[in-house]
Every structure is written in structure tokens, then in C-alpha cells.
Structure 1
Amino acid sequence: MGEDREPLASADRISAEWLSLREAADAAAREPTRPEVAALLAELRPTTVVDVGCGTGAGGRWLLPLLSGDPGWLLLDHDPDLLADTAERLAARGATGPVETREADVADLGAALDGAAGHTLTIASALLDLLTPSQVQELVHTCIRRSAPLLVALTVTGRMTADPGHPEDGLVTEAFNRHQRRGGRCGPDAVAVLTDAARGQGNPVRTWETPWRLGPDDAVLLRQLVEDRAAVAAEQLDAEGTAPADGAERARRWRDDRLGQLAAGRLHLEIGHQDVLVGRAGLEPATKRL
């Protein structure tokens, strides 16, 4: 893509602490998909797994027990701090194939796939919403051109449901979703962008619902989620400076009410995510570029 390639849309650093905090919820959300994903991987039998935006490698660790053979791993992330111990964590979980880490992002995926031998599977987790539509389209097209199925996990959908309900749930959710689209990012539209790009190239798409279902047993994650979501919504409403004029203050009251419910063991939140597979299992490696 050359020197004028589009940089990764998110300049934000995602902390290792947040990624570790959410790992159990991610695994629980994906658990119902395990039998079908395992069957697909048994058909594909990848010799290399390329993890784009790997973070701490949680997506690869979840996938590892479902893989047969000893596939090699190529872990890509633009944050060198997050890459530091991903290879060790993967090996500790039982990976026996070679593991390589590379400071790179979605713009470097084509070169990474060109250097991979045999059947390649590309994976990504909690990444798409941070990308622009053109980056998502390029991600899809890069995998399609190289006959590398793409498995994308835990993309946010913009949906939040809560028990008990709260009169400001809609205000906070809508402001949060608008903030997720800042700077041209896909935010909660990412799965639709991915699906349109894949089907436009005549490729099948398989989708699974993988929502977080959080309750009192997830109190630490729930607290962080409530605080972050309220802060982002208030920031967005302050920046917009439009009706409702007291929107930011209402978002902060939502936070206080929700934290009170959490302390009383009464708060349950469901946060929508989807997993998506683009391409067919069992594809032969591409013999020519489109």
C-alpha cells in the first residue's frame, strides 16, 4: 500500500489491563459457538494463523484448543507494549508451532499473508469497530484475494439491554455509539460493512451472536464498563452541545444510579457483539491474485 497507506484509525492505546479484564467475558460469550467453529477448523486445518490486532493474544488462546496439528502463528499489533508477552502466553497455553510477533497493523496484512505457507486463517478480535470502512473493506479484500478465510470475533453491535431498566439507557447508548463512529470509524456499523464487502465479492458470510451477559459475578468488569460508557457518553454530549442541554449531566446520573445497583448486586447488562466468518473452510491456497 506504500507510504501513503491509511493509518490505523484508532490512535488510542488499549491497555493490557482492560484486555485482561474482559477476557473471561469474551470467552463466555463465544462458548456457544465452539462446536461449530471447531468443525470449521477441522475442515480448514490451517497451517498458519495470522492474528491481526492481537493485543494480549486472548483471541488466539481461545482458538488454540480447537486447532489440530501444529500451526504457526503470526501475531500483528501496532502497540509494541501489548506484543511483548503474547508469544509466551500462547506457548504457555500449549502452542507448539512457531510463533512470530510483528509490530504492524491491518495495512500490513497483505505482506504477512504473502509470506505464509499453505492454508492460512486470519483472525481478529474486538478490532473492526476501531477501523474505518475503507480499512474493513481492504481487510476483507486482502483475505479474499489470498483465499484466506477471515474469522472476526466480538465486534460491537451498539446494542445494550439492562435489568433493571433505566430512563437514560437510550441516551447513554446512543451517545456512546455516536462516539464510537468518531473520526470516520465504523463503530457499531462494522459488521454490516464487513458483510457488504464480502458478499459484494461473492463470498459467503456466517454470523454468530456473541453478547456479553454480565451480572453480579462480573462486578469488576461491570464497574469499569459503566464508568467508561458514562464518561464517553458525557464527553460526546458535551462536544455536541445540542439538545438535551443537560445530556452530559444525565449520563453522569445514569452512572451513579448504575453503580448503586451494582453495589447492591442488582445490575445485569447485556452488550451486543457478533462473530463473523468470511470465506469457506477448506479453500485451497490461491494460485493467482485477482
Structure 2
Amino acid sequence: MGFSADWLSLREPADMAARDATLLRQAAAAAGPDPVVLDLGCGTGATVRALGPHLPASAKWHLVDNDPDLLPHAAAAAGDGAQTHELDLQRLEDLPLEDVTIVTASALLDLASEDWVRALAARLDVPFYAALSYDGHMGWTPLDPEDAAVTDTFNADQQTDKGFGPAMGPEAGDRSAAAFEAAGFDVRTARSPWRLGPDAAALQAELVRGIAGAAGAGEWGQRRVAAAGNAECRVGHIDLLAIPGGGA
């Protein structure tokens, strides 16, 4: 599993606009008055930029990723006091959880297996905030006759192994919520769809290339890329906040 800094930068404005504002504020409150945040799969620091403005300036960050090229970008976003950790997220026992008050992730759970999420829930005794898990729903305007079939094929590919075992893919939101509820957490979820118009044509085109490659839909991809400057796209996501012990 790995993503380029260019792709992460391209998608970040859509991610920022899509995050559920209420759940984001609740996550910030759940982090407590002296937040120590552990961000899993931090990438270039998207969670830092989204959650950070809602936290005290004294907030501390532990930034975890398996890509050493991305960690300096995330550290720069977090500022003084941030610590980076180049770790394989499969090794949950290695997570630096001491003094952490909240664990976060962005666009991660749909790549993970249910077993991994269950193990993570068993490991945590602090709140967990995970935004932007793909939920399997895509809609395009104008329509193309192959849209539904391509979405189905892409969704099936999203459930193959992405580095954590068989991925939950479009079922990540529901299955992760159930896993944390079974571990005794109070779980809240909210929809956080991308809404991409012609002004996001570059993101639409790159998204389409990825979908077409995974679904083996080259001709569909060519048509969609060509239409990106005049098309609208909605891609569904789910945000999740899990608080241990049913706490507020």
C-alpha cells in the first residue's frame, strides 16, 4: 500500500470539503485539553491540517507511515514537537500509544481488513477518529452506460488485499463501526461524500484513471477523462468517531 505525494495533494481539497464538520469538532473535543494525537497512515499530513485548527496550539503529534518520503511533509504540517515513526501498520504492537489521547486516520479503513480493525479496537483505550472511508457509491453526470458495471468491478477490486489482508473496501464504514461497538466503544458515523465538479477536472481525471485501471475499463476511462471538464462526480465516504466506554 502506498500513495504518491502528488495524488495526496490533488485529493486533499476534496477531502477537506467532504469531512463531516460535526464529527470533526467532536473528535477535537474527544482529544481532551492536552491532546496527543497518533495519526495512522499520516501521508503528507492531511489529518493534521484538518484537525489541527480545532486543537490547542500545544497539541502534540505522533505521525505514523510506512513511506519515509511522506513523513517529512507531515512533520512540517504539524510543526514543533511532532514525532515521526516509520512503521508497518500491520504491527499494531509497535504503535507509540503512551500518553496518546486520540488515534486518527484518513482514507485508511477501506484498505484495511476487518481482522486488522478488530485488533486495533482491542488495542485502543482512547478515542479513534477515522475519516473518508470509501463506501462504494459513485455517481456521474452526465451518465455513461458502463458506469454501474465499472463501479461494481472496482468495488470488488477494493476488497482484495491492500497490505492488511482482504480489504473491507466499500463495507469499511459499517464493519469498522461494528468492530468498535463490539469492543465497547460508543460509535458515531456521518456521510462525507466528495462532490467534484468541472473545477476539479484534474482530480476527476486522475480518479478515473485509477478506477479504470483497477476495473479493466480502458474505454470507459478514456471517455470519462475526456468529459472531466464538463462532468460532475459524487463519491461516497463515511467518517467514524469511536469513544471508549460510551464516553462523551
Q: Same fold (TM over 0.5)?
A: yes
1:104 maps onto 2:93 in alignment: no
Q: Which residue of structure 2 aligns with residue 130 of structure 1?
A: 111
Q: Which residue of structure 2 aligns with residue 23 of structure 1?
A: 12
- For 1:281 and 1:34, the matched residues in 2 are separated by 23
Listed one character per residue, the Cα deviations across residues 195-242 of structure 1 (whole Å, up to 9, x for unaligned) are 1111212321100100000010001111111111111100xxxxxxxx
Contact 1:205 1:278 (C-alpha < 8 Å) held by counterparts? yes
Q: Which residue of structure 2 aligns with residue 210 of structure 1?
A: 192
Contact 2:185 2:246 (C-alpha < 8 Å) held by counterparts? no
TM score, norm. by length of structure 2: 0.90
Listed one character per residue, the Cα deviations across residues 246-287 of structure 1 (whole Å, up to 9, x for unaligned) are xxxxx222122222322xx32111001110001159959xxx
Task: Give 2:25's match in structure 1, choosing from 35, 38, 41.
Answer: 38
- For 1:54 and 1:271, the matched residues in 2 are separated by 22
TM score, norm. by length of structure 1: 0.78
Q: Which residue of structure 1 aligns with residue 225 of structure 2?
A: 259
Q: Which residue of structure 2 aligns with residue 200 of structure 1?
A: 182
- Quickly say closer, same or farther: Cα 1:71–1:16, change in 2 above 3 A: same
Matched-pair identity in %: 38
- For 1:114 and 1:261, the matched residues in 2 are separated by 46
**Equivalences for 1:177-196 in 2 at 5 Å?**
177-183=155-161, 184-196=166-178
Task: Give 2:71's match in structure 1, choosing from 53, 66, 83.
Answer: 83
- Quickly say closer, same or farther: Cα 1:120–1:283, change in 2 above 3 A: farther
The structural deviation recorded for 1:40 is 4.7
Gaps of 5+ in 1: 1-11, 235-250, 285-290
Listed one character per residue, the Cα deviations across residues 32-78 of structure 1 (whole Å, up to 9, x for unaligned) are x3245324523542520000110111111110001125121100111
Which amino acid is the alignment partner of residue 151 of structure 2?
Answer: T
1:169 maps onto 2:163 in alignment: no
Which amino acid is the alignment partner of residue 223 of structure 2?
Answer: D
Which structure's CA Rg is the greater one?
1
Which amino acid is the alignment partner of residue 153 of structure 1?
Answer: A
- Quickly say closer, same or farther: Cα 1:271–1:78, change in 2 above 3 A: same
SS in 1 for 2:185: coil
- For 1:134 and 1:177, the matched residues in 2 are separated by 19
Q: Which residue of structure 1 aligns with residue 101 of structure 2?
A: 120
Gaps of 5+ in 2: none
Q: Which residue of structure 2 aligns with residue 160 of structure 1?
A: 138
- For 1:203 and 1:79, the matched residues in 2 are separated by 30
Query: Comparing both structures, which one devotes a greater share of its residues to helix?
Result: 1
- For 1:139 and 1:281, the matched residues in 2 are separated by 16
> Which moved further from structure 2: 103-112 or 12-21?
103-112
1:70 maps onto 2:53 in alignment: no
Listed one character per residue, the Cα deviations across residues 75-98 of structure 1 (whole Å, up to 9, x for unaligned) are 01111111133211222xxxx5x2
> Which moved further from structure 2: 77-86 or 106-115?
106-115
- For 1:259 and 1:200, the matched residues in 2 are separated by 43
1:56 maps onto 2:44 in alignment: yes
- For 2:157 and 2:26, the matched residues in 1 are separated by 37
